[in-house]
Structure 1
Amino acid sequence: MSRPSLAPPPRIAVILPCFNEALAIAHTVQSFRQALPTATVYVYDNASTDETARVAREAGALVRAEPRRGKGNVLRRAFADVDADIYVVADGDGTYDASAAEGMTRLLQDECLDMVVGTRVHTENEAYRAGHVAGNWLFNQVVASLFDKGLSDIFSGYRVMSRRFIKSFPCASEGFEIEAEMSIHALQLRMPVREVPTRYAKRMEGSHSKLNTWRDGLRILVHILRLQRLLRPRQFFGALGAVLVVVALLLSIPVFLQFFETGQVLRFPTAILCTGLVLLGALSGLVGLVLEGVSQLSLETKRLSYLAEPAVALPEAEDARESVTTGGTARPVLP
Structure 2
Amino acid sequence: MTEPTNADRVLVLVPAWNEERNVGATVREIKDTGPQFDVVVIDDGSTDETAAVARAAGAVVLSLPFNLGVGGAMRTGFAYAQRLGYGRAIQVDADGQHDPADIGRVLAGLSRADIAIGARFAEVGDYSVRGPRRWAMVVLAKVVSRVAGTRLTDVTSGFRAANARAIDQYVRYYPEEYLGDTLDSLVAAVHAGLTVTQVPVAMRPRAFGRPSQGPLGATVYLLRSSFALTLALMRRAVRRPGEESPI
What is the TM-score normalised by the length of structure 2? Answer: 0.80
Question: What residue number does 1:119 align with?
Answer: 119
Question: Compared with structure 1, are the counterparts of its residues 215 and 51 closer, same or farther at alpha carbon in structure 2 (3 Å cutoff)?
Answer: farther
Match of 1:180 among 180, 183, 190: 183
Match of 1:101 among 96, 100, 103: 103
Q: Which runs of 5+ in 2 are unaligned?
A: none
Matched pairs, number: 234
Match of 1:226 among 228, 231, 235: 231
Question: Compared with structure 1, are the counterparts of its residues 101 and 186 closer, same or farther at alpha carbon in structure 2 (3 Å cutoff)?
Answer: same
2:32 matched to 1:49? no
Question: What residue number does 2:162 align with?
Answer: 161
2:96 and 2:138 map into 1 onto residues whose CA distance is: 23
Identity, in percent, stands at: 24
Asked whether the equivalents of residues 149 and 187 of structure 1 are also in contact (C-alpha less than 8 Å), the reply is no
Residue 294 of structure 1, CA deviation: 7.8
Q: Deviations over 1:279-303 (max 9, x none)?
A: xxxxxxxxxxxx6x989x838xx4x
- The structure with the larger Rg is 1
- For 1:33, the aligned partner's letter is K
RMSD: 3.0
Question: What residue number does 1:60 align with?
Answer: 58
Residue 146 of structure 1, CA deviation: 6.5
Q: Deviations over 1:58-109 (max 9, x none)?
A: 111111112233111111222223331100112111101111112332442x
1:78 and 1:55 map into 2 onto residues whose CA distance is: 18
2:108 and 2:125 map into 1 onto residues whose CA distance is: 26
Asked whether the equivalents of residues 177 and 220 of structure 1 are also in contact (C-alpha less than 8 Å), the reply is no
Residue 165 of structure 1, CA deviation: 0.8
Q: Which structure's residues are more often helix, by fraction?
A: 1
Q: Which runs of 5+ in 1 are unaligned?
A: 234-290, 303-335
2:226 matched to 1:298? no
What is the TM-score normalised by the length of structure 1? Answer: 0.61
Q: Deviations over 1:18-54 (max 9, x none)?
A: 1121222122111211223122101111122222212
Asked whether the equivalents of residues 178 and 228 of structure 2 are also in contact (C-alpha less than 8 Å), the reply is no
